[in-house]
Amino acid sequence: MGSFNPANVSLPYSHYIGGESFDSGTKMAVLRPSDGQAYADVALADLDLVDRAVDNAWQAYKQSDWAKKSPRDRAKAMLRWADLIVADKENLAPLEALGSTRPIAAVKQWDIPFCAEGIRFFAEYADKLGGEVIPTDHGHLGMTITEPYGVIGAIAPWNFPLVMASWKIAPAMAAGNAVVLKPSEMTPFSVVRLAELAIAAGIPAGIFNVIQGDGKVGDALCRHPLISKVTFTGSTKTGALIMSACAQSGTKPVTLELGGKSPQLVFDDVKDLDKVAQRIAAAITTNSGQVCVAGSRLLVQEGIAEQLVSRITERFDDMVAGPTWQTSSTLSPIISSRELARIEGVVQGAIKQGGELLTGGQSVAVDGANSFYKPTILQQVDMSMDVVREEIFGPVLCVETFATDEDALQLASHPSYGLSAGVHTADLNRAMRMVRELEAGTVWVNRYGRSWDFAIPTGGFKSSGIGKDLGRYAYEANQKTKSVLIDLGA
C-alpha cells in the first residue's frame, strides 16, 4: 500500500480507438492537482478523430460478435476484464492518483475494487435480463425483444475518473453496445489503461474506445449521427447542453447524472452523537467535498447543534492534507487553482452576507503548493445565499437549525437539486416519514454514502438528473425494446 514517486509513473497514449492507442491532435498540458505542476501533455481530438472513433465503434458493433455473442460469453469476457483491472492495481492506482484528487490509499482500497466490482455486477446481467412473452389471445404470440442501441457516447467527470467511467461503460457494454468514452480533459489517462485491459480480456477491438478533449469534443460526440444514446455524468449546466445537443441531432435518449446540494437531517433523538459526527464529517470531507452526493447542508435540531458541530470540527482536525502520492494523505487537493479560488470566493461572499465562520475558511499549503482547502463550517446562513443554494464542490458545510419535523423538511427542500439526502434519527416512524417527503433520488437513513450494493440504483430528481446509474435500471436503459406480434393462424 506504498507511497509512490510521481516522476516514475508511465503514462499511456491519449486516444484508444479500434484496439490501438496513439497521440494525435493539439497538445494540452495536464496538471496534477496535488501541486499544480504539469506532468504530461494530452492530445485533443479534432472532429475527424471523433468521426474515426464513432465509425470504428460502429464497425465493431456491426462486424464483431459482441452484440451477437452468447450473452454468457459476453459476461465472461467482462468478468475477465474486471479480474485484469484488479490484477493491474500496482500500475493503475498510481495512474489514477497522480492525475486526480484521489489519494493513493483510497484508490487502492476503494476506487479500483469498486470499479472492477461494478463491471462484474453489470456483466452478470447480460444473460439474465431480456424480453418477455406478452399475454395475447391464443391465435397470436406477442413478445418483446431487447436490443442494444448500437454505439453509445459516454462522457465522464474528473472527480472519480475510473469509477464514474465504469458506471457509464459497464452497463452499456454488458447490454451489447459499443462505447466511445470521453473522460474529463483534467483526468484523461487512467481510463485509457482500462481500454488496454479490455482488449487483453478478449473484448473485441472497437467495442470500447476512448477519445480525449474538452466540451467541444463532447458536443461533437453527442451530435454524431451514429451515436444512438448518450450517458453523461457532470454538472447540471453541461447536462442541459447535452440534452439539447441530443434533441437537435436525432431525439437521442440521455442518462444524466448531475449536481446536487444534499441535506443531512439530524434529530435530537440520535443515540450516538459521535457516530453521527463521524458520518457528517466524512460526507463533506471525502475527496474534499468534490463528490456529487456530498452532504453539504447540515440541518440539526436545536438543542444538539452546538455539541454536534464541535464534534464534527474535531473530526475535521484529523484530516491530513497531502499529495495524492503519499499514503498518509487523507484530505484531497482541490482539482485546480481556479476551482480553489472559486470556493474561497463563495465562502468569503457568505461571510460578507452575514454568515458566521466556525472553522476553516482558508486554503492550506503543503510543501509550498497551495492546493488544499481547510474543511469549513459556516452557520447563520440560509437559502438566499450562494453558499447554501449552489453546489460548491469543496469541503464546505453549511449549518442550519430546526425545531420541528416540518421545519426540517422545509429547510431540506431545494429549489432545483434533488440528488440525495441523509436522515439521522432513532425513530423509525419519523425516518419513514422523512423518506416519503424528501425530494431526493436517494435517501440514506442512519448512514451517509453508498455501500457495495450495486443493485441499489443511483440518480437524481429535478435538476440533479434523468435516469439511473447502477442497478437494473441502468442496465435496461442501455437497451431498446422491440415489440413482436406473430399471427399463429397464418
Q: Which of 115, 222, 246, 292 is catalytic?
A: 292
Which lies closer to ligand NAD via its Cβ, residue 40 or residue 241?
241
Our finding on whether 182 is near ligand NAD (CB under 6 A) is yes
Task: Name the residue type at position 367.
Answer: D
Q: How far is CA 472 from each of CA 138, 326, 475, rounded to the nearest angstrom?
A: 31, 37, 5
Q: How far is CA 344 from its chain centroid?
A: 24
Q: Which of 196, 257, 339, 400 is catalytic?
A: 257
Our finding on whether 73 is near ligand NAD (CB under 6 A) is no
Among 67, 242, 298, 312, which residue interacts with ligand NAD (rule: CB under 6 A)? 242
Q: Is beta strand 208-210 parallel, antiparallel or unpaired with respect to 263-266?
A: unpaired
Q: In the chain, what are the helix, strand and coil shares in percent, each to the nearest 5?
A: 40, 25, 40
DSSP E strand boundaries for 164-278 = 178-182, 208-210, 227-233, 254-257, 263-266
Our finding on whether 155 is near ligand NAD (CB under 6 A) is yes
Our finding on whether 420 is near ligand NAD (CB under 6 A) is no
Active-site residue, 391 included:
no
Q: Which triple of cell numbers denotes residue 188?
A: 484523461
3-state secondary structure of 109: helix
Q: Which triple of cell numbers denotes residue 127?
A: 444473460
Active-site residue, 257 included:
yes
Bridge partners, 233 (sequence order): 257
Closest by Cα among 182, 173, 177 to 119 = 173
Q: Rounded to the nearest whole angstrom, what is the least distance from the CB of residue 467 to ligand NAD in the complex? A: 10
Q: Rounded to the nearest whole angstrom, what is the least distance from the CB of residue 63 to ligand NAD in the complex? A: 28
Q: Rounded to the nearest whole angstrom, what is the least distance from the CB of residue 185 to ligand NAD in the complex? A: 5
Our finding on whether 108 is near ligand NAD (CB under 6 A) is no
Among 233, 264, 425, 442, which residue interacts with ligand NAD (rule: CB under 6 A)? 233
Which lies closer to ligand NAD via its Cβ, residue 77 or residue 466?
466
Our finding on whether 258 is near ligand NAD (CB under 6 A) is yes
Closest by Cα among 97, 434, 126, 32 to 264 = 434
* Count of chain residues binding ligand NAD (CB under 6 A): 31
Our finding on whether 215 is near ligand NAD (CB under 6 A) is yes
| Residue 432: partners with Cβ closer than 8 Å, 6 or more residues away | none
Which lies closer to ligand NAD via its Cβ, residue 185 or residue 476?
185
Q: Which stretch binds ligand NAD (CB under 6 A): 116-124, 178-186, 279-287, 409-417?
A: 178-186
Q: Which triple of cell numbers denotes residue 475?
A: 442496465
Name the site residues for ligand NAD (rule: CB under 6 A). 155-159, 164, 182, 184-185, 214-215, 218-219, 222, 233-235, 238, 241-242, 257-260, 292, 391, 393, 419, 460, 465, 469
Residues taking part in catalysis: 257, 292
